[in-house]
Chains A and B, each alone.
Chain A
Amino acid sequence: MGRKTIKYPVYTIALALYLFFIVLPVLYSLWLTVTDGHFIENIKTVGQDSIILLLKSSVLAAVIAIISTFFGIILGFLIYKTSINYRKFFKVIILIPLFISPYILAVAWRDILLLFFDKIENSNSFFAIILVHSTIFIPLSILIIGSALVNVSKNLEESALMISGFKRMFFNILLPLIKPAILSSLVLVFIFSISEFSVPAFFSVRVFTTEIFTQFSAFYNHSLAMLQSSLLIIVCVLLLLSERKYIADSPFLSIGTRGKTTKLYDFKSFNKIAYLILIFSVFIMILLPLLILLYQSFKDGTDDFIEAFQLLIPTFGNSLFLALTGAILTLIFGFIAAYFSEIYRKKLLDSSLLLLFAIPSIVLGIALIKFYNRPVLNTIYSGVGIIIIGYVAKYGFIAAKMLENAIKQIPKSLDEAAKIQGIKFYKRINSITLPLVFPAIFAAFMINFLFCLGDLGTTIMVYPPGTEIMPIKVFTIMANAPESLTSSMVLIVFLFTISIILILFSIFRKIFTAYNVNY
């Protein structure tokens, strides 16, 4: 007596769209790689050297992942779990490095480091990469770990505090409870770091991604580059899958159905130290590079700043539009993937998001071009559609991941109770699930918005001729432009992004109150 109609139309439609518009292009270009006639020859080229390089890159990325996660735990705890003053301010300000192009931070840091070292090479340059990547990815760790910390039920901590001191509680209760988040942070930072290209290139360190880049840009050997990329993709997918397996097996904390509050700590005597740590981190991660940029922007007066502003004006509208659209669509796909994978165990969409996430930007860009650049699909390729497709492909997984964790924390009985009462599927999602995961939706939206707004790797490959997009403009103008102009542009991007973040925060706060999220 099976039902003839499609059981989950939303899921099926989303899956079909995703498979056709995003997965198919990638498979198509892989197919081209295999069938281009040089496949065997290329396989031979990807030899021992590549493996050694991949190992080296992995070690580097692992170090960065560990450092970021370590600081993510400390800072995440201070910002999300203490009653320290101005924690909301820190919560926002600490996100800043996420939306500055890594290349720009690398430039700023090189100037800072040159104050301490004669020159940057060899061991120095490894240190520089670790430093720059860590400052970029610590905010990501803070976000992942912070949101897990917030969701730890007060009871669990308090019952532990009854029988032991804070220190024991922290290491034996709190940390183990957020283990899934810690693991997520490690894996995500590792993947971001190992696929990031501009910083090692800038510090002249040969890593796996620069090698892929060389194949693309010096040898124009797309097939070999694709082949090398697939090694990287395999490593990333394996990591993500094992992380997923672990998370699926680990106990998950639930939002209490009888009310929930986060326990905030107040260490009276320790507060000063906490402040020092926070201020020091903000200083290193944000203020120092900002100061350098400020100095470079204004050392010769304000002319360049004004010019930079004029150059960027046409990009504001476009970039905002693209990033908002990207973030919304990413969120929709992410939510559908997360919801159906958690509630109905339909994993295919979620797994495709994961696969796409592991693909380096340039490979994705080339794949999209090869598939979409044909007369039939010209409407998509010659318009902004292709950029949006790139965003969804690249960042859908992040949204899905953040939402999955949130949906896991909602007891299933809440949905079932409504189901028994005859509440229809969409109303259940709209009234029960969505409001309960609203904080996660907001976080996912913000992160994706920032990623889309700053995306360079894929966008630069596919943006329609003549379209003015903020990160691209900064990047292309940067060559041979005076330092003050470049720095000014970066500063303006900074200011622009921060104001958008603040506006979005205030809009969402209104929705939060309307939905009574802070029950």
Chain B
Amino acid sequence: MKLKPINRFIIPIFIFYIFIFAGCKDNSNSVVVYTTVDQVFSEPVLKKFESQTGIKIKAVYDTEETKSTGILNRLIAEKGNPQCDMFWSGDPMRTVVLENKGMLYPYISKSAEGIDEEFKDKDHLWTGFSARARVLIYNKDLLKKEDVPQSIFDLTSEKYKGKVAIANPLFGTTTFYLAALFSIIGDEKAKAYLQDLKNNNVVIATSNGDVKKRVVKGEVFCGLTDTDDAFEAIKDGDNIGMVFLDQQGIGNLIMPNTVSLIKKEKISDNAKKLIDYLLSPETESALSYSCAQMPLHKGVKTAKNIPSPDKIKPMKIDYIETAKKLKEIQNYLKKWVEKQ
């Protein structure tokens, strides 16, 4: 009954740990990326960059979908001493939040020459690429072709009562969409519209993915979501149709991905290389195959059925303005969600 065995376990373990901790650091040739783009889609792109350039990617992934608290909080908390070199956002709104906090650093990438100016920040703090659109998906078993809504304003109609889903507007791209709507049709009209929607028992889902799930399962007729979710649903062979909204009216919202440098003492060249890579037509093409995003460069080879943004009538918005609007209406949206 020697009591030594416990020491025999503990001491080597600690020595082992010291080695591991000491051997942990390897910052030689790497770049730190924070991305809000779903890991299933972003990781392959980043891995490809890694294998092409030999620059090690150190990524922090996160996603609103699963309701973790978000990279943006981390970025903001780290503001005093940023760890992140480059931020790849799935939409411009979160980038603008950082822009407003003065956390971005300008960069003009050669790769972005073919991308329309409207998708770029005037001060070059961020650049947009591969875009998603806000679309309506519907369950073909439940809605006949002629009954499919063509405008968001159709959704308040009695015949869709309790059968329309949208994601919680406090988070993600839905917030963006509503902010855009507010800035286009004005606060008063937008509030009235939302009230009508509420009166029509709109279902508030936890996320865009949840909207998709509910439409696929037939819990609701139709719902608003992003093109990537929509294509995912269609690809899975489910009985799902997709509509670009308001082509006769205010237009459909287009949301590009954005990349930006984080302002810090030493701007990493690797981060610039990564931005160049992400903004290239090749990446846009790859993203069109993996998650149905629409390239913003002209003439990029895309997956089947991916529309070119030219063919869609876009909502005319200014991202900075929309971001401001977003901040204004957030409290209203919160109350709107909470109201029974």
Binding site for B on A (CB under 8 A): 103, 114, 118-119, 121, 197-198, 201-202, 204, 206, 213-214, 216-220, 222, 321, 325, 328, 362, 365-366, 369-370, 373-375, 378-379, 381-385, 430-431, 434-435, 456-457, 460-466, 472-473, 475-482, 485, 511, 514-516
Contact = CB atoms under 8 A, between A and B. Distances in A.
A216 B69 contact: yes
Prevailing SS type, chain A contact patch: helix
B58 A479 contact: no
What 6 pairs across the A-B complex have the smallest Cβ distances? A466-B58, A479-B65, A465-B58, A479-B63, A476-B61, A369-B77
Contacts of A114: 217
Contact of B73 (A222, A375, A431, A480): A222
A119 B77 contact: no
B3 A480 contact: no
Contacts of A216: 69-70, 73
Contacts of B128: none
B62 to A, nearest CB: 6
A69 to B, nearest CB: 28
Given A374-B81, A465-B33, A325 B17 contact: yes
A516 B1 contact: yes
B83 A465 contact: yes
Given A375-B81, A460-B62, 15 more contacts: A201-B206, A204-B168, A206-B338, A214-B334, A216-B70, A217-B72, A220-B72, A365-B69, A430-B3, A461-B77, A464-B58, A465-B34, A466-B30, A475-B68, A480-B65
B12 interface: no
9 contacts: A197-B67, A204-B204, A216-B69, A218-B171, A383-B24, A430-B6, A478-B65, A479-B66, A485-B40
Contacts of B70: 216-217
B94 to A, nearest CB: 10
A137 to B, nearest CB: 20
Interface stretch (B228-236, B243-251, B253-261): B228-236
B5 A511 contact: yes
Nearest to B171: A218
Nearest to B76: A220
Contact of B32 (A201, A430, A466, A479): A466
B185 interface: no
Nearest to A379: B25
A480 B17 contact: no
Nearest to B7: A430
Given A382-B83, A480-B38, A217 B69 contact: yes
B217 A479 contact: no
Contacts of B11: none
B334 A514 contact: no
Contacts of B59: 465-466
A217 B171 contact: yes
Nearest to A214: B170
B122 interface: no
Contacts of B2: 514
Interface in B280-338: 291, 330, 334, 338
B24 A479 contact: no
A431 B30 CA distance: 49
Contacts of B62: 460, 476
A249 to B, nearest CB: 34
Contacts of B20: 321
Given A217-B73, A217-B171, A373-B80, A435 B40 contact: no
Given A220-B73, A321-B20, A511-B6, A465 B334 contact: no
User: Range of interface residues on chain B?
Assistant: 35 or more
Given A218-B334, A383-B24, A198 B67 contact: yes
A373 B2 CA distance: 45
B99 interface: no
A479 B81 contact: no
Contact of B76 (A222, A381, A480): A222
B189 interface: no
A478 B13 CA distance: 34
Contacts of B6: 430, 434, 511
B183 to A, nearest CB: 18
Interface in B34-58: 34, 38-41, 56-58
B65 A514 contact: no
B143 interface: no
B9 to A, nearest CB: 8
B225 to A, nearest CB: 11
Contact of B219 (A119, A201, A465, A514): A119
B184 interface: no
Contact of A461 (B74, B168, B291): B74
A325 B84 CA distance: 27
A472 B209 CA distance: 19
B84 A456 contact: no
A463 B40 contact: no
Contacts of B73: 216-217, 220, 222, 362, 366, 461
B3 A435 contact: yes
A466 B56 contact: yes
Interface string B5-30: 11001000100010011001101001
A202 B167 CA distance: 12
A238 B168 CA distance: 34
A480 B228 contact: yes
Contact of A383 (B25, B38, B64): B25
A477 B65 CA distance: 10
Given A214-B334, A480-B291, A481-B40, A461 B67 contact: no
Nearest to B205: A204
B30 A366 contact: no
B75 to A, nearest CB: 10
B97 interface: yes
Given A220-B73, A383-B25, A479-B39, A373 B58 contact: no
Contacts of A214: 170, 334
A480 to B, nearest CB: 4
Contacts of A516: 1
B170 A218 contact: yes
A463 B60 CA distance: 8
Given A214-B170, A217-B73, A475 B78 contact: no
A399 B62 CA distance: 30
Contacts of A479: 38-40, 63-66, 209
A202 B206 contact: yes
Interface string B151-193: 0000000000000000010110001000000000000000000
Nearest to B340: A122
Nearest to B68: A460
A108 to B, nearest CB: 14
Which of A103, A204, A217, A465 neighbours the largest number of chain B CB atoms within 10 Å of its CB? A465
Contacts of B76: 220, 222
Contacts of B27: 382
A479 B170 CA distance: 18
Contacts of A217: 64, 69-70, 72-73, 170-171
Nearest to A477: B39
Nearest to A203: B206
A303 B17 CA distance: 36
A374 B78 CA distance: 9
